[in-house]
Amino acid sequence: MSALKRFFLSRLLREKLMLVLFVALVAIVWLVNFSSRTSRSWLEYRTTRNELAQQKQWLASRESIENSAVQAVKNLDPAQTLDDTRLVGELQTLARDLNLKFLNDAPQTERTANFAVHTVQVTIPRGEWEVLYNFYVAVARRSPYIGITQFSLAADRSNRQLLNASLRISSVEIVR
């Protein structure tokens, strides 16, 4: 260190200033670059920490969730549960029995190893209040195997006595 000090002090003033400025410039550039990388690294650390903590919580509650799932289907008769095809077929039958037009989107499925929940968006255009109500009652009778999760009713523009119904209907399927 003494040698470096002597070397530094023995330089001309302009050389000393240039040395200090050069080192300062390097330090500033490095510091700016380093702080941005540190901040990115810190953000990554926090994200992974939170994700790991969440994963840990989910893994810790695995057993209780599996038990809850078993409890949830305990009172259901596997024979009466409906897959997506049966769900659409059942709803079409109910609508046909009441002379209702029936339109449906492709069913969506959430599936675990043992259960599945199928959801279908159904539109019934230009139905009368009583008929729609009867359709609703018929669907409700299939509870808890079929359930309405979203419902919307709008007056038809051309004839306000008629209603357009839109329903999101789900069914439970016990896979085994």
Query: Which CA distances in Å does 94 have to 15, 62, 133, 165?
Result: 94, 39, 12, 15
Under rule CB under 8 A, residue 38 binds other proteins: yes
CB of 161 to other proteins, least distance (A): 12
Nearer of residues 103 and 155 to other proteins, judged by Cβ: 155
Nearest to 139 by CA among 153, 151, 128: 151
Place of tokens 């499925």: 109
Among 36, 39, 45, 78, binds other proteins (CB under 8 A): 45
What is the full DSSP assignment across 74-117? Answer: TT--GGG---HHHHHHHHHHHHHHTT---EE---EEEE-SSEEE
Binding mask 67-86 for other proteins (x = CB under 8 A): -xx--xx-xx----------
Nearer of residues 99 and 157 to other proteins, judged by Cβ: 157
Among 36, 39, 65, 97, binds other proteins (CB under 8 A): 65
R_g over Cα of the chain: 34
Q: Which two tokens stand for residue 176?
A: 């085994």
CB of 122 to other proteins, least distance (A): 13
User: Interface residues for other proteins in 92-121 (CB under 8 A)?
Assistant: 110-113, 115-117
Among 23, 39, 97, 101, binds other proteins (CB under 8 A): 23
CB of 139 to other proteins, least distance (A): 10
Binding mask 143-162 for other proteins (x = CB under 8 A): xxxxxxxxxxxxx----x--
Nearer of residues 45 and 101 to other proteins, judged by Cβ: 45
Compute the C-alpha angle 89/95/98, nearest 5°.
145
Q: Are 146 and 87 in contact (CB under 8 A)?
A: yes
